[in-house]
Structures are given as C-alpha cells and as structure tokens.
Amino acid sequence: MPRRALRKVDPSLDLSRWLRTFETLPQPWNAEALFGRAAPLEVEVGSGKGLFIASASAARPERDFLGIEIAHKYAKHAAAKLARLNRTNAVMVHGDGLRIFRELLPDASLAAVHVYFPDPWWKARHKKRRVMNEGFSKDVERVLQTGGVLHFWTDVEEYFQTTLELIRTTVALAGPFEVAEREAEHDLDYRTHFERRMRLGGEPIYRAEFRREG
C-alpha cells in the first residue's frame, strides 16, 4: 500500500506553540512551563505524521503529550495538525529523541513512553542505530514514574524479540505484557498511520508493554 503524500502546511499557520526544538525546550526541564499546567506527561519517540499524539491528546485531555520526530517535514506536519485542532495538551519537537531523554528529561518525570514502529535498520552494521538500545532502555527506566508504562510496537519480529531480550537483561521493568489487537471503529482508529497501513495490508504487528514497579 503506497504512502500518501504529506499535506502541505499552510504557511500562515502559527506553529510556535506546537513545534519546538531541543534548544527551545525549557532547560532545565519544566513541563509546567511548556504546557501551562501540572499534569501527567507521556512522550512518543518517533511520531511520524502525528496520528497517535493527535488522537491520544484528544482521548485523554487530563494528560499532556510530547511527540519527538527527527525528520523535520514530519515534525512540522504533526505540529500543524495539533495547531489546526488547537490542542493545548500536546507539543511536537523536531529533534533527536535519545538526546532529549539522555540530556533533558529528569528522573521519574513521565507517566508513559511510546515507541511505535521505529526504523529497524535492517543491515547488521546499522543495527547500532536502533532507538531501542541499551542506553535508551536505561533512560526509559530512569524517567518513568512508579507505575509508568513503556509501549513498544514493531512489524519486525526479529527487532521485537531482540528488544524483549534487551529489556530483560538491562533494566528492571516488569513485563512484557501482551497487548491485544482490537478492531478499528473507523478509518483512522489506529495507533499510528503505520499500524493502519500494516493491518490493512494483512501484515503482523508485535506489541508489548512494560511497567516500572518501583
């Protein structure tokens, strides 16, 4: 199934509230300064076109959502979607998610971390570039609050199994807990655009959740 072209962003749309970079985030970190309130915070690494952050911020208005996307055109596209919806509890960041976790987010600051369909970096010499690596896993454990959850989905079974083993051997997160597939109620009732494409194409998806218990 071919990918749809990105919608052109209206040049008159003011994205300053919804599109940030590492340099324009509060430093030291202050989520209340970014969102204008104190609320549980969830972070998505690799937001793509922004379907998850737009849907989740609508479904859970009592929570705040930070999406991180390294590709500028996708970060801008997702931010424009949030701007058109005037979503006050969601912000996009154009930047390196691993750096933001490593250098900016403090201990026990997140209610959830979402990683959906990260680049598998197929070639053996490139697998060190995968987002699900030892350093990031340790940072996820560090920034999750007690009861906080890591959501990890991929369409690559080898990446899924490798990540389960990585988490088992490097951090003390409980899991993996199985995540059942549910029927979509409408055309965009999917976690991400990639999930929609895979499921409509009949491709398998591997899902797991992990939880920090102490």
Q: Is residue 2 part of a domain?
A: no
Four-residue CA torsion sign, 159, 132, 48, 176: positive
**Which structural domain range is residue 115 located in?**
19-211
Nearest to 165 by CA among 179, 153, 176: 176
State the catalytic residues: 119
What predicted TM-score, i.e. pTM, was given to this entire model?
0.92
Distance CA 119, CA 85 (A): 28
Q: Is residue 115 part of a domain?
A: yes
Domain count, the chain: 1
pLDDT in tens, 96-142: 999 999 999 999 999 999 999 998 867 877 788 899 999 999 999 99
pLDDT mean over 38-43: 98
Residue 148 pLDDT class (50, 70, 90 cuts): very high
Q: What is the CATH number of the domain that holds 83?
A: 3.40.50.150
pLDDT mean over 53-79: 97
Nearest to 211 by CA among 140, 149, 155: 149
Distance CA 94, CA 49 (A): 12
For the packed helices 51-59 and 72-85, what is the interaxial angle rounded to 10 degrees?
A: 30
Contact 96, 23 (CB under 8 A): no
